[in-house]
Chains A and B, each alone.
Chain A
C-alpha cells in the first residue's frame, strides 16, 4: 500500500472548495466520487474517506493561519439535495480494523479542531445543511457552532448507524448530541434509531439543529448568521495571513527527515525515535518578523504533527516511540517567552493553539511513549510537554564520560501551566500530580531554572533517573521489555492511565465512544461475512448473533 500523506494544499483539493468574501469564508464540500484514497469504492453523495478528511483538516488549518480576516466559516455542500452522507460504508467494509480506528481518530481530531477554532480562535463555524445530512454528515454539522437546516420538507438530519449499519455514530455524534446540543436522552435514543432522521420543526424542538430556514430565505439567512458571528470575532480584518508553505521532508527506508524533526525507525526493535531540535537562534526581534511558516514554534509543530500522523498511518508495527530533543534549552525558553509576551496577537494565539492540539494528538496516539532526557537535550517549556505526555520519562543523572556538555536538565516555562490543556481540561502537570496537587506549585516555583536529574526526580517530573553506569542497560532492557508486551493491552492500558480525573465531552468521545466503536468494529455483527458493514450495499440483510455481551 502506498504511503498515506497528510500534506496537501488547496490547489490539490479534490473534494473541497474555499470561497472568501470579506470576513466570511465558505467551505464547500464537493466530493469527487472517483477520487477515493483506495480502490474499490466510490465516494457517492458527498461520503468521505480519510483522503477527504485530510483535505478538510488542511482547510481548517489554513483558514486559521492564512486568513486572519475570516471571523466566520460557513460549512456547506456544493451538491444539490445532499449535504453529506457520512463516512463511506464500502470503504469501512473493506478497510482493516487498524485503518478504521486510525481513520476515526483522525476525523475526531479534525472535528475537535473545528470546535477549537470556534471556541478559541475567533473563527465561528456555521453549518448550512442544504440537503440530507446522515451519519458522519450530521456529525460534521454538530461539530460546528450552529446548524441551519433548509426546510424544503425533505432535507433531514439523521444518525442511522445503529439501524442501518450495526455500528455507532463514532465521530462524536452520540456524545455531541447529548453533551453539546443537550438533546434529551430519550429523544436522542429515538433519533439514533430512526433511519430517516428528523426534519423541519421537530429538528429544532429537539435541539438537533438551531434553526430551519425556507429555501427562499436560505442564502440571506446564512449570510446574516455568518455576518453576526464575524462581527463578534476579535480577529484583525486588515492583517495579512501566514502562508503554510510546503514542508521540507525527506523519506528514506529508515525514517523521515524534516527541518527540526527526524524520525529514525528501528524495525527490528519495533520502535521509532522521534527527535525534535531546538531553534538555532533567538526568537525574531519583532512580531512582524515572526509571521512566517519558518517561525520555529510553527515549523516544529507542523513537522511533528506530520511525523506523528505518518507514524500512526504508515508505520503501525512501530509500537514504541522514543521521544528525544536536542539543542539549546535557552532558545526554546526564549521562544516560549516570545509566545507568552505576544499571546494577545492572533498569529501567536494560533501557534499556541496549534501546539495544544498537537500535544493532544500525541496524548491520543496509541503507541508507547518514552522520553529520554539526556545531556544535549532540551526538554524545556513547550518541549517539556513531550516528556509529560510520555508514559514514562527517563533522565540521565550527571554527564557522560568524555562529553563536555552540561548534565541533562529539564526546564519549565509559564506555558507548562495553562497553555496546553489535555482533553480532560487539565494541564499535563496537573494530570501528573492528580494525587499531589502541591507538587504543581513546587514545580511552578522553578520556572526558568535548569532542573537536573536529582531535583527533577525529587519534584516528580521524571519517572526514573539513572547514572551513566546503569543508563545503557536500563534503557535497553526497558525498551525491549515494553516492545515484548501485547500491543492491544498496551494501547488500552496507556489510554486509561494517560487521562486521569474529570471527563469532558472530548474524553468521552475519545474514550467511551471510541472504545465502544472499536469493540463493535471487531464484532461479527458488524464486520463478519454476514455483518452489516460487509453486506451494506448488496441488498442482503445482515444476520446478527442476538446474544447480548
Chain B
C-alpha cells in the first residue's frame, strides 16, 4: 500500500495524514472542531439537521474505491482530512524552481502568498453552504435534495482540508485564519465572504444548478491550478478535492439538462414550437428557455469576475515561484517557465475591445479563464444536444466575456452578450433582454414547491436517467421523518 492510502477512522477526525502522531495539529483541529459544528448547525442546511441523508463519505484515497454510501445525519458526517497519496520523488513542474524536489514544508519566502491562496480558497467552501442553506425546503425531489446536501457536506470537507493546511503549516497565523473562516458569513454586511460572487444569494434551484455548473467550475479550475503546486501538501489536498468536485459539476450540468429536457418535452406535448411563447410555456409549469439563457448570462458573467484581473502581478508571482500552476500544467508541452512567451489577452483600449499579446506570466488569470470558458462550452454543447434531439429551435450560448463585468478590463465599459460595446444608457435599456428580470424571478420562485415523495419530481424538472449509487427510481434518498 503506498504512503497515505490508509484512512484512520478511529479518532474524532478521519484522516490519512497520521494525525494521531502529530499532537500539535491534532490539538489545533480538535479545538477548531466544536466551532465548526456550531457553524454547521447555524449556517448549514436549514431544517434538515436531523434528517437521514443517503450520503457518500470518503473512506479511502484509492481512486478505485474511495467512497461508501450510507444514511447519515449531516452533523454526524465524518469530515475527514484526506490528501491524495504522496508521489515519491515528485518534482516542481514549473516556474523558477522547476525540477527541484517539491516542498514538504512552506518555504519562508512564499509564506504570505500561500497563506493568501489557501485562505481565499478556504473562504469559498463554507460560503456556498451558507448561500444554499434554505434550498432544502423547496427541493424538487428527494434525489435533488440529497445531491444538494452531498455538495454541502463536501464543501464542508473542503473547508476542513484548507483548515488542516493552515493549522499544520502556518502556525499561529494559520490558526487565526482558520477561526476567521468560521466567522465570515456570506452576504453579511459586516463580515462578508472574501469574493463577491460568494456573497450573492442562491434564491432558487435554477440558480443552484447554474451556480454549481458555473461558479463551482471556477473552484474546480482554481483547484486544478493549485493541484500543480510545488508545495506538495497543497497539491495532494487539491488533487483529492477534485475527485469530489466532479460530482458537483455533475449536479450542475445534469440539473440544467433535466430542466431543458422537461421544458422540451412539455412544449412538444403542448404543440408549442416557438421557444419565445413565454405565456403559454409558463402555463405548463416549466422554465422557458429564454429565461434559462438569461440565467446563464448572469451566472457566467458573475463567475468570470472571480478570475481577477486579466493581467495580474499576483498570478505571475504565484506561477514563477512554483506555488500555483496552470490548468493541467503537467499535460502542457512548453518550457513551463514562460519567461519569453506571450499570451493573447482581450483588453479594453479607448472603449474598444482589442486583442494584445501580453507576457505570458502576467496573463495567467486570462489563460485560466480561457480554459474555464472552454470547459463551460462543453457543457453548454451537451445542453444544446437535448434541444436539438427534441427538435426545439433554441440554443443556449455563453455571453461574450465583456458582458456584465465588474472586475478586470471590461469593468469600465458596457457590452451586450455578443461583445458589442455600448453606452450605459443603451445597456440599461436592454438589460431585461439579457439578465433575469423581476418577472423571471417571480415565476421561478413560484415554481419552487417542495416535492418530498420518493420517486416524484417537480413539474419543471425531468427525473435523472440513473440513480445515485445505482439506486432505483423510487429510492428514498432522504428520510425526513425517520429520526
Q: Which of B112, B189, B319 makes the CB contact (< 8 A) with A163?
A: B112
A539 and B190 form a contact (CB under 8 A) = no
A539 and B320 form a contact (CB under 8 A) = yes
Q: B173-215: contact bitstring with A at CB < 8 Å (1 yes, 0 no)?
A: 0000000100110000111101000000000000000000000
Interchain nearest-CB distance for B364 vs A (Å): 8
Stretch at the interface among A67-75, A147-155, A246-254: A147-155
A538 and B362 form a contact (CB under 8 A) = yes
Query: Chain B residues near A44 (CB, 8 Å)?
Result: 309
A196 and B320 form a contact (CB under 8 A) = no
A539 to B322, CA, bound (A): 10
- Interface: B339 (CB within 8 A): yes
A195 to B191, CA, bound (A): 23
Q: Which of B183, B191, B316, B318 makes the CB contact (< 8 A) with A537?
A: B316
Query: Chain A residues near B192 (CB, 8 Å)?
Result: 152-153, 215
Q: Which of B115, B191, B194, B361 makes the CB contact (< 8 A) with A539?
A: B361
Q: B114-144: contact bitstring with A at CB < 8 Å (1 yes, 0 no)?
A: 0110000000000000000000000000000
A538 to B112, CA, bound (A): 18
Q: B460-472: contact bitstring with A at CB < 8 Å (1 yes, 0 no)?
A: 0000000000000
A536 to B313, CA, bound (A): 8
- Interface: A194 (CB within 8 A): yes
- Interface: B441 (CB within 8 A): no
- Interface: B384 (CB within 8 A): no
B184 and A539 form a contact (CB under 8 A) = no
Interchain nearest-CB distance for A93 vs B (Å): 12
A153 and B183 form a contact (CB under 8 A) = yes
Interchain nearest-CB distance for A455 vs B (Å): 64
Given contacts A154-B194, A215-B190, contact A539 B180 (CB under 8 A): no
- Interface: B359 (CB within 8 A): yes
A538 and B194 form a contact (CB under 8 A) = no
**Residues 502-542 (chain A) with a chain B CB within 8 angstroms:** 536-541
- Interface: A10 (CB within 8 A): no
B191 and A153 form a contact (CB under 8 A) = yes
**Residues 301-344 (chain B) with a chain A CB within 8 angstroms:** 309, 313, 315-321, 338-339
Question: Which one of A153, A195, A536 has the greatest number of beta carbons of chain B within 10 Å?
Answer: A153
A214 to B96, CA, bound (A): 41
Query: Chain A residues near B191 (CB, 8 Å)?
Result: 152-153, 214
Given contacts A163-B112, A195-B112, A214-B190, contact A537 B362 (CB under 8 A): yes
A45 to B452, CA, bound (A): 50
Interface residues on B, range: 20 to 34
Q: Which of A151, A153, A196, A214 makes the CB contact (< 8 A) with B112?
A: A196
A540 and B116 form a contact (CB under 8 A) = no
Interchain nearest-CB distance for A91 vs B (Å): 14
Closest A residue to B96 by CB, please name it: A541
Query: Chain B residues near A194 (CB, 8 Å)?
Result: 112
Given contacts A151-B190, A154-B194, contact A538 B361 (CB under 8 A): yes
A195 to B180, CA, bound (A): 19
A540 and B190 form a contact (CB under 8 A) = no
A540 and B112 form a contact (CB under 8 A) = no
Q: B34-62: contact bitstring with A at CB < 8 Å (1 yes, 0 no)?
A: 00000000000000000000000000000
Question: Which one of A151, A154, A163, A195 has the greatest number of beta carbons of chain B within 10 Å?
Answer: A154
**Residues 38-69 (chain A) with a chain B CB within 8 angstroms:** 44
Q: B78-113: contact bitstring with A at CB < 8 Å (1 yes, 0 no)?
A: 000000000000000000100000000000000010
- Interface: A216 (CB within 8 A): yes
A154 to B195, CA, bound (A): 10
B189 and A215 form a contact (CB under 8 A) = yes
B317 and A539 form a contact (CB under 8 A) = yes
A33 to B375, CA, bound (A): 32
B116 and A216 form a contact (CB under 8 A) = no
Closest B residue to A160 by CB, please name it: B112
A44 to B319, CA, bound (A): 21
Interchain nearest-CB distance for A348 vs B (Å): 45
A537 to B314, CA, bound (A): 8
Query: Chain A residues near B184 (CB, 8 Å)?
Result: 153
Interchain nearest-CB distance for B171 vs A (Å): 14
B190 and A216 form a contact (CB under 8 A) = yes
A540 and B96 form a contact (CB under 8 A) = yes
A540 to B362, CA, bound (A): 10
Interchain nearest-CB distance for A99 vs B (Å): 22
Q: Which of A152, A195, A538 makes the CB contact (< 8 A) with B359?
A: A538
**Residues 213-229 (chain B) with a chain A CB within 8 angstroms:** none
A121 to B37, CA, bound (A): 56
A151 to B184, CA, bound (A): 11
A538 and B116 form a contact (CB under 8 A) = no
A194 to B321, CA, bound (A): 18
Closest A residue to B359 by CB, please name it: A538
A153 and B362 form a contact (CB under 8 A) = no
Question: Which one of A152, A194, A214, A540 has the greatest number of beta carbons of chain B within 10 Å?
Answer: A540
A444 to B189, CA, bound (A): 62
A541 to B184, CA, bound (A): 33
Q: Which of A151, A196, A537, A541 makes the CB contact (< 8 A) with B321?
A: A541
B313 and A540 form a contact (CB under 8 A) = no
A215 to B319, CA, bound (A): 34
A214 to B188, CA, bound (A): 11
A80 to B442, CA, bound (A): 30
Given contacts A153-B191, A216-B190, contact A196 B115 (CB under 8 A): yes
Q: A143-183: contact bitstring with B at CB < 8 Å (1 yes, 0 no)?
A: 00000000111100000000100000000000000000000
Interchain nearest-CB distance for A535 vs B (Å): 9
Query: Chain A residues near B112 (CB, 8 Å)?
Result: 163, 194-196
Query: Chain B residues near A214 (CB, 8 Å)?
Result: 189-191
B320 and A540 form a contact (CB under 8 A) = yes
A541 to B339, CA, bound (A): 11
Query: Chain B residues near A541 (CB, 8 Å)?
Result: 96, 320-321
Interchain nearest-CB distance for B94 vs A (Å): 11
Interchain nearest-CB distance for A158 vs B (Å): 10
Query: Chain B residues near A215 (CB, 8 Å)?
Result: 189-190, 192
B183 and A539 form a contact (CB under 8 A) = no
B361 and A216 form a contact (CB under 8 A) = no
Question: Which one of B191, B318, B319, B359 has the greatest number of beta carbons of chain A within 10 Å?
Answer: B191
Query: Chain B residues near A539 (CB, 8 Å)?
Result: 313, 315-320, 338, 361-362
Query: Chain B residues near A153 (CB, 8 Å)?
Result: 180, 183-184, 191-192
A151 to B189, CA, bound (A): 10
Query: Chain A residues near B316 (CB, 8 Å)?
Result: 537-540
Interchain nearest-CB distance for B409 vs A (Å): 10
A328 to B338, CA, bound (A): 70
Question: Which one of B183, B184, B189 has the greatest number of beta carbons of chain A within 10 Å?
Answer: B189
Give 14 A-B contacts (CB < 8 Å), ordered by A residue.
A152-B190, A153-B183, A153-B191, A163-B112, A196-B115, A196-B116, A214-B190, A214-B191, A216-B189, A538-B359, A539-B315, A539-B362, A540-B316, A541-B96
Given contacts A538-B359, A539-B313, A540-B320, 19 further A-B contacts (CB under 8 A): A151-B190, A152-B191, A152-B192, A153-B180, A153-B184, A153-B191, A163-B112, A195-B112, A196-B116, A215-B192, A216-B190, A537-B316, A538-B320, A539-B316, A539-B317, A539-B319, A539-B320, A540-B339, A540-B361
Interface residues, chain B, with chain A CB atoms under 8 Å away: 96, 112, 115-116, 180, 183-184, 189-192, 194, 309, 313, 315-321, 338-339, 359, 361-362
Closest 4 CB pairs of A and B: A539-B316, A539-B361, A539-B320, A214-B190
